[in-house]
Structure 1
Amino acid sequence: MTPSDRAHPRTLVIVPTYNELESLPGAVRRVREAAPWVDVLVADDNSPDGTGQLADELAAADVQVQVLHRPGKEGLGRAYVAGFGYALERGYELIVEMDADGSHRAVDLPALLERAEASDAPDLVIGSRWVPGGEVANWPRSRELISRTGNTYVRLVLGMSVGDATAGFRVFRASTLRALPLDEVESAGYCFQVDMTWRVHRAGMRIVEVPIVFVEREEGVSKMTGGIVREALWRTTAWGARHRAQQVRRLVGRLRRR
């Protein structure tokens, strides 16, 4: 039995967009071919290049494609949180994060979903570049070094064993998202991925990584900026400082009770 032949939980793939006119049609097509049972939600931040209108055309041609029009560019995190709310309101059981630029390969999607659908399914499945079997394609050495160093820093500061906390290709269970205070999430850029991973970890829920091949985008322009990197650095450092302070307070409390 192939993955498309068996029954699946209701699944929504959220694809946030801002000026992805060139890449969006191919991204949606590849997802629908790789996992025909899933629905796709394009969450567009009022792209000036017409991506939102194109998404409407794709939705008109395919009932499994939906569009969430947002008022303007507010960052990746807010787009995903809006998409999470949309999915939870409509009873989806699995919610997927996936980029529109082709860097997340649709052929890897069934493997992530299979792990999320297993009898021992974790609360969060991450498509990871930095676990055995994972890799990147067409990346300069400097970009790989930045990503590896950033993830090492996250592990050391926050005390998580996740190899790729910054990864943006992931599957949440609806129960996981309902258990998190999504209205408190303030991270706007790629720091959002670390934020969500950290929240799942702190809640005592289980995270599993599945190796993927991450491909450098071939169309459009990267959204990565120095400001996004700085946000991730200072927020992670602040979370880590609070975490370590709490650990010290708990230790002191135990020592005083002896």
Structure 2
Amino acid sequence: MASSSQSKSHPAAASDPEPLSQTSGNSLPASPRVLVAICTYQEAENIEAILAALRDALPHADLLVVDDSSPDGTSDLVRQRQAEDSKLLLNQRTDERGLGSAIVSAMQHATEQGYEFFINLDADFSHDPQALPAMLTLAVEDPQIDVVIGSRYVKGGNIIGWPLRRRVISKLLNTFATTCLGLPVSDCSGSMRCYRVSRLQQISLATLQCTGYAVLEELLVRIQRSGGKMAELPITFTERERGQSKLSLGEAIRSVKFLLKLAWQLRIRRQEV
């Protein structure tokens, strides 16, 4: 990639980390060191199956569940699985809420513990864990790439289970956001991503402004402004079959307001973000 304002679209295709709630385990493979995080609230119907699928897709990765004290027992199910998976970590949060702050807390763990790559995806099978090896391979093989985005909107990407109206609205909002923020990607709101941790260490995670869903766009802005480069791989996004979506109308409105504020900072005030 010639500059930090460009992205690529691709066809589909040290010591142990300090545990959060796991006190023993096997040593990690020498390289690469990978942390896969899923952020959960009320995902008891999906958590056991998604953890099994993640372990199958990336056998040597550490898995981290960030759970906002789900009343349905999500954390309890994770603890049960820890007895048979020494690389499964749990952060059960009691004082914080929200997808944005959950993702950032997982990223901070990755930077503090010396991982090389950080992967995030949804816990409800909207994202297929079998797509992760290709994303990780691309990041490992091309050291210029700082984040690989699982994209619904590049050639080969797809969405299953959404009515046409929702597809159109989502596409329009993505186009609006990428244009306003000057992002060189097709899908700026999807959370299935593989980040190079050395880049995350350069973008001041503690000063991110958004604690909600729009942190996904804010992260890309920070990465781009720090000189980072992005790539997209096509994925198929499938509407969840079990459990309820956590994206409320209120959160969607807050996200749009934040993106407008961020665009104002970038385009008009030239304020550091």
Same-fold status (TM-score > 0.5): yes
Deviation of residue 35 (structure 1)? 1.5
Question: CA–CA distance in 2 between the matches of 1:130 and 1:30?
Answer: 24
Q: Tell me the secondary structure at the aligned position of residue 159 of structure 2.
A: strand
Q: Could you tell me which amino acid in structure 2 is paired with residue 49 of structure 1?
A: D
Q: Which residue of 1 aligns with 2:215?
A: 192
Q: What residue is the counterpart of 2:13 in the other structure?
A: none
Following superposition, the deviation at residue 96 of structure 1 comes to 0.5
User: Bigger shift: 113-122 or 11-20?
Assistant: 113-122
Which letter maps to 2:173? Answer: G
Q: Which residue of the partner structure matches residue 60 of structure 1?
A: 83
Among 165, 181, 184, which residue is 1:142 paired with? 165
Q: Assess if the C-alpha contact under 8 Å between 1:115 and 1:121 holds in 2.
A: no
SS at match of 1:126: strand
Query: What is the deviation of 1:72?
Result: 4.5
Instruction: Verify the 8 A CA contact 2:100 2:212 in the aligned structure 1.
Output: yes
- Out of 127, 132, 150, the position equivalent to 2:150 is 127
Match of residue 187, structure 2, among 139, 153, 164: 164
State the 1:181 CA deviation: 1.2
Q: Deviations over 1:107-152 (max 9, x none)?
A: 1111111111114440111110000111111111122112101111
Partner SS state of residue 16, structure 1: strand
What's 1:253 paired with?
Answer: none
Corresponding residue for 2:5?
none
Letter in 2 for 1:207: M
Cα RMSD after superposing both structures: 1.6
What is the match of residue 108 of structure 2? 85
Q: Distance in 2 between matches of 1:122 and 1:11?
A: 16
| Structure-2 separation of matches of 1:143 and 1:116 | 31
Q: 2:41 matched to which residue of 1? A: 18
TM (norm. structure 1) is: 0.90
- In structure 1, the gaps of 5 or more residues are 1-5, 250-258
Partner of 1:223, secondary structure, is coil
Aligned to 1:220: 243
Which amino acid is 1:145 matched to? V
What letter is aligned with 1:189? G
1:46-102: CA deviation from partner (whole Å, max 9, x where unpaired) = 111111111111112211211111115510011111111222222211001111100
Does structure 1 retain, via aligned residues, the 8 Å contact 2:69–2:75?
yes
Shift of residue 234, structure 1, vs aligned partner = 1.0
Residues 8 and 142 (structure 1 numbering): CA distance in 2 closer, same or farther, change over 3 Å?
A: farther
More helix by share: 1
Equivalent residue in structure 2 for 1:100, among 115, 119, 123 = 123
**Aligned with 2:64 (options 4, 25, 41):** 41
Query: How far apart, in 2, do the equivalents of 1:73 and 1:102 lie?
Result: 24
2: CA distance between counterparts of 1:169 and 1:103?
9
Aligned partner of 2:6 in structure 1 is none
Cα pair 2:183 2:220 within 8 Å, conserved: no
Give 1:109's match in structure 2, choosing from 121, 132, 142.
132
Deviation at 1:8, TM superposition (A): 4.0
Question: Whole-Å Cα distance in 2 between the matches of residues 24 and 224 of structure 1?
Answer: 18
Runs of 5+ in structure 2 lacking a partner?
Answer: 1-28
Distance 2:161 2:46 in 1: 17
